[in-house]
A and B are shown apart, each in its own frame.
Chain A
Amino acid sequence: MIEVDGLVKRFGAVEVLRGVDLSVGRGEVACLIGPSGSGKSTFLRCLNGLERFQEGRVTIGDVALDAGQSDRDHARAARRICRRAGMVFQGFNLFAHETALQNVIEAPMRVLGMSRDEAVERARGFLARVGMLHRLDARPRELSGGQQQRVAIARALAMGPEVVLFDEPTSALDPRATGEVLSVMTDLARDGQTMIVVTHAMGFARKAATVVHVFGDGAIVESGDPDRVFEAPAHEATRSLLSEVQAA
């Protein structure tokens, strides 16, 4: 369902992605792990067009982002991809001037042309699913980080995405909020939602992932079944990553 071929991304002279290939099938939960600066977040942002890349190709369904596209074609393709691929950010990025409910109905109304009533009804469903039905009218700054991130997940789900991209969704949260958010994500995974998750939460990766990809220095150095990767890491980078996490 998602195919990435030979993705190369440079910031000036610095090559942050050095030819990444990846394939994610329907219903898969792919966790991308790796040390900070290994390029996994940048990779995720290339998938939905927030970043452009210099070589390679991303295909989601029948839409493709290509390194050779004009800016206009890239923007158009990115917009089509974004309708199918939701994104959850490390910093939540809820619309600061809107309530929780308004955040969730905004895109279904503006992008999908849903009526307000329909959008509200669906939004209530998703907010119930993430346990936020009691704070419909709260503004982001009145919510805790964990609550904001749960609303952000509902906002992404409200578009009915084929895949949800999670960019370190718990890195800005305390342990308790991390638990709340990970349990919501675990439920999603169990329900068959296709997900690509960039994370440092190894427990979640091991429990919920169908496949784990280890990033090292701008490339995927190891991929495989989570139990296999965590039990018997094949690559030196994976071993040092796991030992650092255990030491922490």
Chain B
Amino acid sequence: MDMDPDASESDARGPSLGRNMAATVVLTGLAILAAAPFAPADALDDARARGTLRYGGDMEGGAPYAFPDPDAPRAVTGFEVEIMDRLARGLGEDVRAEFSQGQWDKLLWVLDSGRFDVVVNGYEWTPGRAEDYLATRPYYIYQLQLMGPKGSPVRSWDDLKRPRPDGSPWTVAVLTASAADDFARGRDAGAIRVVRFDGATDAMLAVQNGQYDFTLQDVPAASYYAGAFPGLGPVGPPVSRGYYVIYARRSDTALRDALDAGIGRMAASGELRRILEKYGIWNDLQNELATSFEGPIATPSSSRGARGWRLVLHYGDRLRAATLVTLGLSFGSMPLAMAIGLAVALGRLHGPAPLRPLLAAYVELIRGTPLMLQLYVLFFLLKLDPWVAGIAGLAINYSAYEAEIYRAGLQAVPRGQMEAALALGMSRWQALRRVIVPQAVRIVIPPVANDFIALFKDTSVCSVVTLVELTKEYSILANGTRDVVEFAAAAAAIYLAMSLPLSWFARWSERRLGAEGAKGGLA
């Protein structure tokens, strides 16, 4: 990096001083650059200057933590929202708390990026997180509650030590990367299979639907949503125990200390209790909030083993398994999508007249609605198996795009080809099969290959139906280890390694079939 020319030339006070000045400027600049992803000074000063304390959370299935206010749907409410309102005011007369939406399992990464100042969303205190971020004292002591269908013969965790009567493991639905996820995975792996969801309420819905046996939820969510899922009831007493804390960036000690002291004041004054009672989540355990904590929970000395690339290698088997899921979804769905798409295109161009508007409507409906919602329908309404829902959803979604590509391809075959076939006495169907479609296929190779590569990456949406494909596994591992960059690079490299051969294959077949002449006649 070059020195600032102005600094080195404004040299009235002598060469050596000038040079020192310049060096200082450069060093300061470097320091600012290095710290740029974080706040330049402590975020507490910023929040006071700005008049807002920005905190990250996820409103999806977010009650009673932070969720859309039923009385004012554009506003957010919840016990965390009320706690943050009080804490912000404790930072200064004019400071207001401002909720910022993010996907739950990515909130800490967004915190790193500086989009908000703290994360407050039922985030448990863990030694790993405490190593990378600053945590306050707890504002809630949570437990985990197993929920299952009312009237289930299973009464306690002990009943789950043995597999189901048919020998298969019990399925336990959890929110990805939550404390429940960790806890359930720590149980006997032979008798329990953990199924991961992107939202807490999705997991409850799937259990109420009968698609899975149980769901493990934090007590606040379990008690708040009991009314929304009348088919579910508690199984055994709450288990485990942990602390919801506020996380701040490592550089923001002053902000963390101010919030920590604020929680202490709210706990001592009974204000915290009033808020928790309002949301029906106060219990005797919470008395410890005022009595047992004098400050932030102590950070343990580093316990971490392997980090970075060695950790990626360590988890190689899991990445490989997730890659196979991605491949399975892609290669299972794309041939179906191409077949359905071709059928739809042929029907629109050559089918019976009454069928044509229906097929056009199919294309518009499927193409105009999100893949994720289609997967929801297949999985939660039709209650299909995750693999069936995933492959069918991708196949149907992409069939609409393929249909349009094929329609363009079919129309690009000169009309004389069909006329020549008919003039030879071939039926319309024979003409399509022998003459038109083979030429259309050659024309559409590049766009279809393009779509296939896009589909590779769209398989990641299938995490909403609990399939742990590559993106989901990356997210789980990056969350668990917080070695985000390495795992992101590894996942990207794997995606590239899958899509590049596809590109080569497409180019090769284009060349090969191109030599046979996709265009001819009057050329």
Residues of chain A at the chain B interface (Cβ within 8 Å)? 48-50, 75, 78-80, 82-83, 85-87, 89, 91-97, 106-107, 110-111, 139-142, 145, 148, 152, 155-156, 159, 172
**Cβ contact within 8 Å between B521 and A87:** no
Minimum CB–CB distance for A111 against chain B, Å: 4
16 contacts between A and B (CB under 8 A): A80-B425, A82-B424, A86-B423, A91-B522, A93-B420, A95-B421, A96-B519, A97-B442, A97-B517, A110-B434, A111-B424, A139-B516, A140-B520, A141-B517, A145-B522, A159-B425
- The answer to whether the Cβ of B427 comes within 8 Å of any Cβ in the partner chain is yes
Minimum CB–CB distance for A141 against chain B, Å: 4
Known: A92-B522, A97-B516, A172-B522. A155 touches B424 (CB 8 A): yes
- The answer to whether the Cβ of B430 comes within 8 Å of any Cβ in the partner chain is yes
Please tell me the size bucket of the interface on B.
20 to 34
Which single member of B416, B438, B523 contacts A97 (CB below 8 Å)?
A: B438
Q: Which residues of B contact A95 (CB under 8 A)?
A: 417, 420-421, 434-435, 439
Which single member of A85, A87, A141, A172 contacts B519 (CB below 8 Å)?
A: A141
Q: Which residues of B contact A85 (CB under 8 A)?
A: 423
Q: Which residue of chain B has its CB nearest to the CB of A76?
A: B427
Q: Which residues of A contact B438 (CB under 8 A)?
A: 97
Closest 7 CB pairs of A and B: A96-B520, A140-B520, A93-B420, A107-B424, A93-B416, A83-B425, A87-B423
Q: Mark B422-461, 1 if CB is under 8 A from A, else 0.
A: 1111111010001100110010000000000000000000
C-alpha gap A93/B436 in the complex (Å): 12
Q: Which residues of B contact A152 (CB under 8 A)?
A: 420
Q: Which residue of chain A has its CB nearest to the CB of B519?
A: A96
**Cβ contact within 8 Å between B424 and A159:** yes
**Cβ contact within 8 Å between B425 and A79:** yes
**Cβ contact within 8 Å between B426 and A110:** yes
New A-B contacts (19) at CB < 8 Å, excluding given A86-B424, A97-B516: A78-B422, A79-B425, A79-B427, A87-B423, A91-B521, A93-B416, A95-B420, A97-B438, A97-B513, A97-B518, A106-B426, A106-B435, A111-B424, A139-B517, A140-B517, A141-B517, A152-B420, A156-B423, A156-B424
Q: Which residue of chain B has its CB nearest to the CB of A79?
A: B425
Q: Which residues of A contact B519 (CB under 8 A)?
A: 96, 141
Minimum CB–CB distance for B414 against chain A, Å: 8
Q: Which residue of chain A has its CB nearest to the CB of B513?
A: A97
Q: Which of B495-523 contact A (CB under 8 A)?
A: 513, 516-523
C-alpha gap A82/B425 in the complex (Å): 5
Minimum CB–CB distance for A19 against chain B, Å: 25
**Cβ contact within 8 Å between B425 and A50:** no
- The answer to whether the Cβ of B419 comes within 8 Å of any Cβ in the partner chain is yes
**Cβ contact within 8 Å between B426 and A97:** no
C-alpha gap A85/B521 in the complex (Å): 21
Specify which of B417, B425, B442, B513 lies most central, judged by the most chain A CB atoms within 10 Å of its CB: B425
Minimum CB–CB distance for A125 against chain B, Å: 17
Q: Which residues of B contact A82 (CB under 8 A)?
A: 422-425
C-alpha gap A111/B428 in the complex (Å): 12
C-alpha gap A148/B523 in the complex (Å): 11
Residues of chain B at the chain A interface (Cβ within 8 Å)? 414, 416-417, 419-428, 430, 434-435, 438-439, 442, 513, 516-523
Specify which of B424, B516, B522 lies most central, judged by the most chain A CB atoms within 10 Å of its CB: B424
Q: Which residues of B contact A50 (CB under 8 A)?
A: 419, 422-423
Minimum CB–CB distance for B429 against chain A, Å: 11
**Cβ contact within 8 Å between B517 and A96:** yes
Known: A79-B427, A82-B424. A93 touches B516 (CB 8 A): no
Minimum CB–CB distance for A215 against chain B, Å: 21
Q: Which residues of B contact A141 (CB under 8 A)?
A: 517, 519-520, 523
Q: Which residues of B contact A107 (CB under 8 A)?
A: 421, 424-426
Q: Which residue of chain A has its CB nearest to the CB of B522?
A: A91
C-alpha gap A52/B518 in the complex (Å): 30
Q: Which residues of B contact A93 (CB under 8 A)?
A: 414, 416-417, 419-420, 521
Which single member of A89, A94, A111, A148 contacts B425 (CB below 8 Å)?
A: A111
Known: A106-B434, A110-B430, A110-B434. A94 touches B520 (CB 8 A): yes
Q: Which residue of chain B has its CB nearest to the CB of A155?
A: B424
Q: Which residues of A contact B516 (CB under 8 A)?
A: 97, 139
**Cβ contact within 8 Å between A75 and B417:** no
Q: Which residues of A contact B518 (CB under 8 A)?
A: 96-97
C-alpha gap A148/B420 in the complex (Å): 13
C-alpha gap A93/B434 in the complex (Å): 14
Known: A97-B438, A106-B434, A110-B430. A92 touches B521 (CB 8 A): yes
**Cβ contact within 8 Å between B416 and A89:** yes
C-alpha gap A212/B416 in the complex (Å): 27
Q: Which residue of chain B has its CB nearest to the CB of A139?
A: B517
C-alpha gap A96/B417 in the complex (Å): 8
**Cβ contact within 8 Å between B424 and A89:** no
Q: Which residue of chain A has its CB nearest to the CB of B523?
A: A141
Q: Which residues of B contact A92 (CB under 8 A)?
A: 521-522
Q: Which residue of chain B has its CB nearest to the CB of A84?
A: B425
Q: Which residues of A contact B434 (CB under 8 A)?
A: 95, 106, 110
Q: Which residues of A contact B423 (CB under 8 A)?
A: 48, 50, 82, 85-87, 89, 156
Q: Which residue of chain A has its CB nearest to the CB of B439?
A: A97
**Cβ contact within 8 Å between B428 and A75:** yes
Q: Which residues of A contact B430 (CB under 8 A)?
A: 110-111
Minimum CB–CB distance for A127 against chain B, Å: 16
Q: Which residues of B contact A97 (CB under 8 A)?
A: 435, 438-439, 442, 513, 516-518, 520
